[in-house]
């Protein structure tokens, strides 16, 4: 049963990634692949979210960005906005081979499986359209500890909106 589930998930990844590999390590990816780590921080009382993302190639940070959004109805919406912003930024910079990583498993699963989550339906459509422009993309979940470089700018962006509201 586990083998079947794994096979099914690999088939979904292959469909999403177009002409890509399901290799687990970046070394198996094309040479010009960048890693994008994305995260969001959300504050319920403000209905605000801070987004942070970093773009890395060969263990070197190329870009680190953040943004704040208001109003944002939930943490999931904040995470989806962060991923969308990260992809938009990467495309503007000309990066077309991407390993996208987020600590939000629900969002990663929705992107991979094209699950229509009502709360983020429009944002998921935007993300799907952005991914369609990429010849190579892998979308994967990372643990919070592995996403700390994106977490800091997200929290800083949220703190900046907290003081301005």
What integer pLDDT is reported at residue 19 of this predicted model?
30
Instruction: Look at residue 63 and tell me if it is in a domain.
Output: yes
Check the CA dihedral 126-12-49-74 and report its sign.
positive
> Which pLDDT belongs to residue 40?
96
How high is the mean pLDDT in each 10-residue block of the chain (165 residues)?
46 39 54 94 94 94 94 96 97 96 96 93 96 95 91 92 65
* Full domain range(s) for residue 42: 30-164
Answer yes or no: is 44 within a domain.
yes
Identify the CATH number of the domain in which residue 50 sits: 3.30.420.10
Residue 160 lies in a domain: yes
Residue 75 inside a domain? The answer is: yes
Considering the entire predicted model, what is its pTM? 0.81
88 falls within a domain? yes
Contact between residue 34 and residue 94 where contact means Cβ atoms under 8 Å apart: no
On the question of a cis peptide bond just before residue 68, with omega within 30 degrees of 0, the verdict is no
Residue 90 belongs to some domain of the structure: yes
- Structure confidence at residue 156 (pLDDT): 92
**The pLDDT of residue 1:** 40
Q: How many domains does the chain have?
A: 1
Q: Is residue 3 part of a domain?
A: no
Does 23 fall in a domain? no
């Amino acid at each position: 049963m586990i083998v079947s589930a794994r096979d099914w998930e690999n088939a979904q990844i292959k469909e999403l990634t177009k002409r890509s590999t399901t290799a687990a390590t970046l070394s198996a990816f094309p040479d010009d692949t960048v890693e994008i780590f994305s995260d969001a921080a959300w504050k319920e009382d403000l209905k605000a979210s801070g987004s942070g993302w970093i773009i890395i190639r060969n263990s070197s940070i190329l870009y680190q960005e953040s943004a704040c959004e208001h109003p944002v109805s939930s943490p999931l919406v904040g995470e989806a906005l962060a991923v969308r912003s990260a992809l938009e930024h990467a495309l503007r910079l000309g990066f077309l081979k991407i390993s996208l990583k987020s600590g939000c498993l629900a969002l990663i699963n929705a992107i991979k499986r094209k699950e229509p989550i009502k709360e983020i339906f429009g944002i998921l459509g935007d993300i799907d359209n952005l991914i369609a422009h990429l010849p190579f993309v892998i979308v994967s979940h990372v643990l919070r500890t592995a996403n700390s470089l994106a977490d800091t700018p997200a929290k800083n962006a949220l703190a900046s909106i907290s003081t301005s509201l």
